Structure 1
Amino acid sequence: MTSPLPARSLLRTATAPEHERVDAAFGGFDLADRDGYRAFLRAQALPLITVEAAIDTFDPIAVLPDWPERRRAGLIVQDLTDLEATPPAPEPFALTDSAAALGAIYVLEGSRLGGALLARNVPMDLPARFIRCPAAPKRWRGLIEVLDQTLVTQPQRDAAISAARAVFDLFWRSARQHGRMPVVE
């Protein structure tokens, strides 16, 4: 009998279509243009603020001790304020348990990695605390280890996958709402 996939591989594979859809949606923003960048930040802000607030309802530090250092909602709020845009309030978003919270964190941390690639398109005169927040490979590896060690039962894995898909969907819907280009469903 073969051993099951590590949780990280399972999450990546199970959420690949949602991830691709979000990448395509956010690819339509012009980050070199002040208005396009502001729209991008607005589209990122609602899901980020909402999901971080939902994660905080659990005891994320018990599962991921460096959770407070991973939070980026404050950074995006500062950037939006500098761009004279009102940051959104969090929406209701339910996470069922700590396994679901880990699935949500997986998506947020993955977006940090993606942001590092996008940051080079943002002019230096625009506020970029959020998008230039460093993606620490050590922190990513730490999350992967926690996922693989914690998400060991099928119900835990299912909860993480379901939450990750819901977070991707929240990002996708926000990109559609704030984007200027139609997004293919």
Structure 2
Amino acid sequence: LWALLTPLLALLDRIALLSAPPEALEAVADRLDHVAERCGPAVATYSNPAKTLAGELADALPVIWTEGTSAGPAGRRFAAALAELAGRPALVAELPEALAEHSALLAGPLAASADPEDFFRDRVEEAPALHARVVLLRDRPIGGLTAAPAARDLALGHDTPISELEPEEGDALVTLAELIATTDFAAVYLALASGA
């Protein structure tokens, strides 16, 4: 993705449609190198955010909630990567609208608490029921207000597990690159684990 996108960003900067000077592209490259070091295949699962996220999504329906400038496009890209690479559908919505759009979903049969008999399920012979898992991708919220506490309360109130990814500090292009790279790694690991 970034090998194709970098020349386009340089071109858009040159014709003044977008601000992506060489320093910004170098910062993106540095951040992508950092993500590759943290999320690479040789890094153990417990310290690898992409492997951890893939493990958490193994038997779940991803419900991706985004907050902030860079998180929206990264969330849509993550849903596309999950579908394309791992064959997994995912739902995406931006906060705070996601709270109203997905509250019925979290209260329905996809909620973790929807099947009280799951405790007695034969773990060897019976496949687990599909339950929703919220993935909260956060960047700096627009206007400084955040809906993340309400999102956590809604998910946990319906016994729905939640995973959170938040990039390190940086400008919008750098944080977008970090979120996309981390979630791309997670989609690939999920595809490998599921044999897709």
TM-score higher than 0.5 here?
no
Larger RCO (CA within 8 A; separation ≥ 6): 1
Whose Rg is larger? Answer: 2
TM-score in terms of structure 1 length: 0.33
Bigger share in helix: 1
Bigger share in strand: 2
TM-score in terms of structure 2 length: 0.31
